[in-house]
Amino acid sequence: MRDIGPLDFSVAAGECVCLSGASGAGKSLLLRALADMEPHLGRVFLDGVGCEIVPAPQWRRNVALLTAESAWWHDRVGEHFSRVDESLLAELGFEKQVMGADVHSLSTGERQRLALLRLLAGRPRVLLLDEPTASLDPLNTERVEHLLRRYREEQDAGVLWVSHDPLQVRRVAHRHWHLEDGHLREEILST
């Protein structure tokens, strides 16, 4: 177990908070702890209900983490989806035939975008995004940002977004925190 903190923060419904910090500062670890994937001493609440009294799978469906690298366990893309929203597919630049594609034939960026759709299909209440656009070109970055904004507004979802790109932070964030030496520092967002 590693020590990052003590940290005390909250993300409101419908709010997007960006998180930055040097690599190794513990951003990913923090997101994993929030999704209850790491043993942790801190306490996490969703709408006032503590993480520890919610069954773990249910907690993770509500507080959904998108990892920096996507992982796939079946051969075909479609086998990973319980349901497919074709309009969302189109919004990220996919035809619906992509569901029949071999996972290994896709690029890292394509897999990353599909992993986002796979996560959103569960209708999570909170999104923890670990550099969701790191492997994307500018066009697809814009598509993802747009889709996430729409999801956040329609579902009134809270978003905690790890990003290294100051321009992106300015585009998507309501608030911006910087994690350093176990402290969260609130950065001023220049508009």
Partner 1 sequence: MNIIRLDTWDLSLAAMLVLVLAGLSFRLQLGASKQLLVAALRTAVQLTLIGLVLKLIFANVHLAWMLAMATIMLLVAGREVMVRQQRRFSGPWGYGLGTLSMFVSSFAVTLLALLVMVKAEPWYTPQYAIPLLGMVLGNAMNGIALGLDRLTQGAWQQRRAIEAQLLLGFAWHEAIAATRMEAMRAGMMPIINAMTAAGVVSLPGMMTGQILAGTPPVEAVKYQILIMFLITACTGFGTLMAVWLGSRHLFDERQRLRLDRLQETR
Token pair for 41: 């001493």
Nearer to partner 1, 65 or 169 (CB): 65
Cβ of residue 35: shortest distance to partner 1, in angstroms? 6
Nearer to partner 1, 131 or 169 (CB): 131
Nearer to partner 1, 100 or 122 (CB): 122
Nearer to partner 1, 26 or 184 (CB): 26
Cα separation of 30 and 180, whole Å?
Answer: 12
Cβ of residue 190: shortest distance to partner 1, in angstroms? 34
How remote is the C-alpha of 171 from its chain's centroid? Answer: 16
Cβ of residue 171: shortest distance to partner 1, in angstroms? 26
Cβ of residue 141: shortest distance to partner 1, in angstroms? 22
Nearer to partner 1, 70 or 133 (CB): 70
Interface contacts to partner 1, rule CB under 8 A:
35-39, 52, 56-58, 60-61, 64-65, 67, 69-73, 118-119, 122
SS3 per-residue string spanning 120-189 = HCCCCCEEEEECCCCCCCHHHHHHHHHHHHHHHHHHCCEEEEECCCHHHHHHHCCEEEEEECCEEEEECC
Cα separation of 13 and 88, whole Å?
Answer: 22
